[in-house]
Chains A and B, each alone.
Chain A
Amino acid sequence: MASPFIIDRSSVTQVMAWVLAALLPGIAVYVWLFGPGILVTLSLATVTALAAEAVMLKARGYPAKPFLMDLSAIVTAWLLALSLPSLAPWWLIVTGTLFAIVVAKHLYGGLGQNIFNPAMVGYAVLIVSFPVQMTQWAGPLELTATPLTLAQSASVIFGGDVPKATLDAVTMATPLDALRTGLLQQHTVDEIMTQSIFGHYGGIGFEWLAGAFLLGGLVLWALRIISWQVPLAFLAGIWLAAGFLHFFDAGRFGAPWFHLFAPSVMLGAFFIATDPVSGATTPRGKLIFGFGAGLLTIIIRTWGGYPDGVAFAILLMNLCVPLIDQYTQPRVYGETKKTRAPPA
């Protein structure tokens, strides 16, 4: 091996650890405003992901230790867990995580080779296959008379004997669900927004969760773990698309701030769309990638079959990455028109 003989101290493990750390404020707010149930989901997803990763590494003949140490499986598990409804049954969590790690990551070649974001693949598979179970969201504590304890949450998740009345008392439609259902029932946005779930910008509790993810994302940006292009373009895409629609018909389309302050958007903008493996690599490409994902999110939310579109939007943009990268190759030092090779 030849030069260079010195390296910076950074490592994949360090990058992934920072991503996990940046998720902590979001998790804390989640627990504070929605109850401790999410901790069960997170733990279950983590254990499943590590086990799946270990088995797949063994099966593919890779050494387990350096790859388990890189923490990338845990990042996938957490991102999936935070996207799932907080009271989703255990088998839903396990299935989603297994699909993410086994199919979306390892069958595509493992770390660095997957063209789709594994967490989003897991999420997409679940929402397409089990749409009903994917609505078991615990409502914000502020609106819940008798919040679930950690043990009760675990019991719900693991299919324990929980009275239906108790469950009904805590589960609630998310703001995006509420908006979608309301619009389908021919209500105007203003009418829908009078429902108790809605807060200043987004839903009660949800907007704070979004804010916590935003905070964690800004930390990652300040540390240069993620680039500024993807989150900014993603948020801009959402704001502009939603704003455009809202401007023309405020009665039928939600306000841009409302769309922006959904937790899935902040999580998507700073933690999922910024996944380097499945995202664009060139500076301009990152802008296109982020903007496209934002635009598609609003399109899917507005006209698609699902209340939220972040996952599908990102997966669709993942598909476009090779094309985007190829056509956005930056100018190199000393490049002139003559030496510029046409993209082939």
Chain B
Amino acid sequence: MSRELFKFKGGVHPPEHKAESNTRPVHAAPLPKKLVIPLRQHIGNPAKPVVEVGDRVLKGQLIGAADGYISAAVHASSSGIVSAIGPAVVPHVSGLPDECITLSTDGLDEWIVHAPLDYRAMEPSDLRMRLRDLGIAGLGGAVFPSAVKLDPGATHSCPTLILNGGECEPWITCDDVLMRTRADDILQGVAVMRHLLGSTEILIGIEDNKPEAIAAMQAAAQKMDYAIEVVAVPAIYPGGGAKQLIKTLTGREVPSGKLSTDIGIQVFNVGTAYALARAVHHGEPLISRLVTVTGHVLRPQNMEVLIGTPMHTLITLAGDRDGTTGVLMGGPMMGMPMPDLDVPVVKATNCILVKSRDLFPPLPAALPCIRCTRCADACPAELQPQELFRFAKTGDFGRAQEYHLFDCIECGCCSYVCPSHIPLVDFYRYAKSEIWAREKEKRAADLARERHEFRQFRLEREKKEKAEKLAAKAQAKRAELAAAPATEGPAQTDADAKKALIAAALARAQAKKAEVAPKNVDHLPPEKQREIEEIEARRAKIRELARQPLETDEKKS
């Protein structure tokens, strides 16, 4: 390999633990009785349900439609009956429920009619919308809708396409196994990406601790009729982070706060390429993925899992053991603890890591920061984590942002090396979400201020307009009355003119009132109708009462 590689700063070498799971053959996990499919599995707007409870759906049928440009659809992973639509616990640290569609599977696994897409003949924007509606999103962890990433935009071109086979997190091997076993399909997906992005250079970055995957991908790449460079990159965490991989392969850095497309580079996970290939060449939506089930289980392995499968079934399948102390979704560096083992596998689930006391001893108690800057040496974003920690801890969020808090990729290297064992990343997550919440609040306050000011302005304007209108009308009426004095006699005075005006206005108002028929009262149940009649009667009475004194007054005068 002649390609010159670059080194990004920082990084750590945690024990890899890949061998546990990457040698066993891949099996499809059996069809569960119940599938829980969250509507929010991707970044962007959650999908909108298009089925109802009781509907029978087929495997691959659209059940949640993409809502807007940055969104992705969700599909039934198998055939069955929709048994519930509503909040259910999803794989998220908070343990909060979110909107899900629950299917009771019928065991038939009956596919909906689907056909391959002739992507070369399709309009690129149509193709992207099709991919969005097939639910394709990044499977590397961020789950960003792929259709958006496949749009090079009007002005940007994307000459370099990088396929990310880094998989730097310890324990996880699903990408490794995917590359070993389905290299050709992955490259079919790459072809579609190349077609949409117009890329001229295609690089596949794979960490050098996966020689079998590198060999398989190289063999597959040689069959293609254009150049694909499979590059072995040094194994270092987080070498598989998109920004780090870009730096390693091209020596370029994604500008802070920008996207990689701004420098003409787009990065996709190998799993995403595979899903894309299934979508285009088979018309299959994203309803299953490879999941590594490893850690404290009897048979660590990779499985082909339907989206929505409860995690505990997979752990049982891999052989659960006594002494489990928790389950992570993802790896030990960036994974999330699962609140419940009933939570379903989602598009983001690359790994189910079962913890035990031996494999993951409880972290020692934290000591104060001694500013040793080991975290700064380990930080791949080249931040000063010790300063960010100080600002986040004391709530000095402004300074935290000045020190580039939002360039933090939460890779966990700083916490990993910290001799004081401070959960640094937790502090950064806290600071980030606090800043987001405040910005949201600020936006809401600005909106409220604007609307309040507009209301003040409107009231002022209405008052003015009313006054003007009245004045003008009075003027006109007076002129009219003045123009016809003969008919009414010379006794006509100014006061009479006013009275006539009032009378005319009253008549107009009455007429108008009669015109306004109550709306929203069609097809009401009889009791409601009765209620309305009662209210109307009451109102009429009040009106009557209100008129009486006026009339007596008039009589008096």
Contacts and interface: CB of A to CB of B under 8 A. Distances in A.
Given A4-B333, A4-B425, A7-B363, A333 B256 contact: yes
Contacts, number: 143
B412 A4 contact: yes
Nearest to B335: A3
Nearest to B380: A333
Contacts of B419: 10-12, 14-15
A22 to B, nearest CB: 15
Contacts of B234: none
Interface stretch (A31-39, A119-127, A303-311, A336-344): A336-344
A64 to B, nearest CB: 13
Contact of A3 (B333, B365, B404): B333
A277 B367 contact: no
Interface in B78-113: 93
B256 A8 contact: no
Given A329-B384, A332-B382, A336-B255, A1 B371 contact: no
B381 A333 contact: yes
Q: Give the 6 A-B residue pairs with the shortest CB-CB distance, closest first.
A: A4-B412, A112-B368, A334-B256, A276-B372, A339-B256, A341-B402
Contacts of B426: 1-2
B238 to A, nearest CB: 11
Contacts of B170: 6
Interface in B246-275: 247, 253-258
Contact of A7 (B255, B381, B386, B415): B415
B367 A66 contact: yes
B495 to A, nearest CB: 73
B190 interface: no
A112 B412 CA distance: 22
Contacts of A282: 376, 384
Contacts of B367: 12, 66-67, 70, 111-112
Contacts of B386: 281
Contact of B93 (A2, A67, A110, A276): A2
Nearest to B247: A333
Given A112-B370, A332-B381, A4 B407 contact: no
Interface of A: 1-8, 10-12, 14-15, 66-67, 70, 72, 110-113, 227, 276-277, 279, 281-282, 325, 329-336, 339, 341, 344
A2 B364 CA distance: 14
Contact of B403 (A11, A66, A227, A329): A329
A70 B380 CA distance: 28
20 contacts: A1-B363, A1-B423, A3-B332, A3-B412, A3-B425, A8-B12, A12-B367, A14-B419, A110-B368, A111-B368, A112-B368, A276-B370, A276-B372, A279-B371, A282-B384, A332-B381, A332-B382, A334-B407, A336-B255, A344-B402
Given A1-B423, A332-B407, A277 B370 contact: yes
Contacts of B415: 4, 7
Interface of B: 8-9, 12, 14-15, 93, 170, 243, 247, 253-258, 328, 330, 332-337, 355, 360, 363-365, 367-374, 376, 380-384, 386-387, 399, 402-404, 407, 410, 412, 415-421, 423, 425-426, 429
Given A6-B332, A227-B373, A333 B9 contact: yes
A6 B333 contact: yes
A113 B369 CA distance: 8
A10 B328 CA distance: 24
B417 A325 contact: no
Contact of B256 (A4, A5, A277, A335): A335
A230 to B, nearest CB: 11
A133 B480 CA distance: 115
A281 B336 contact: no
Given A1-B423, A276-B372, A330 B384 contact: yes
A322 to B, nearest CB: 11
B412 A113 contact: no
B429 A2 contact: yes
Contact of B373 (A67, A281, A336): A281
A113 B421 CA distance: 17
B127 to A, nearest CB: 31
A281 B258 contact: no
A15 B374 CA distance: 11
B332 A11 contact: no
Given A8-B12, A276-B371, A329-B384, A2 B425 contact: yes
Contacts of A10: 374, 417, 419
B252 to A, nearest CB: 10
Nearest to B254: A334
A48 B242 CA distance: 53
A274 B371 CA distance: 11
A198 B326 CA distance: 67
A307 B290 CA distance: 71
A104 to B, nearest CB: 15
B355 A5 contact: yes
A332 B256 contact: yes
Nearest to A11: B419
B372 A2 contact: no
A4 B168 CA distance: 14
Contacts of A344: 399, 402
